[in-house]
Amino acid sequence: MKRQLLPSKAFVRSARRFVQKHPLLGPELQLTLELLAADAFHAQLRTHKLKGKLAGSWVCSAGYDLRIVFQFVKHGEQEAILLECIGTHDEVY
């Protein structure tokens, strides 16, 4: 089931910063987002639930040290993914 991606303002800001610093990784990030929309639990994403201060959120891997934090939400009548932030392991945790 394909889910709609809903980027938060914080996600857009951090993604823009990331792509400016690493322009060659922009297409890889786009492919990761497409895979996340198609199958949030695809083995390549290594999706897992977070604990502690980020409880209720999930994270997936978008490369060696790049993580995308998100939540599963309802948008209208459909399931969607709210993209919260993107960054390195140390930046998002």
In the chain, the domains with their CATH numbers are 4-92 (3.30.2310.20)
Residue 16 has pLDDT above 90, yes or no: yes
- With tokens 């993914």, the residue in question is 81
Per-residue model confidence (pLDDT) at position 63: 83
Residue 93 has pLDDT above 80, yes or no: no
Residue 8 has pLDDT above 90, yes or no: yes
Q: Is the dihedral of CA 18, 92, 5, 11 positive or negative?
A: negative
Q: What is the pTM assigned to this prediction?
A: 0.92
Average pLDDT over residues 53-63: 93
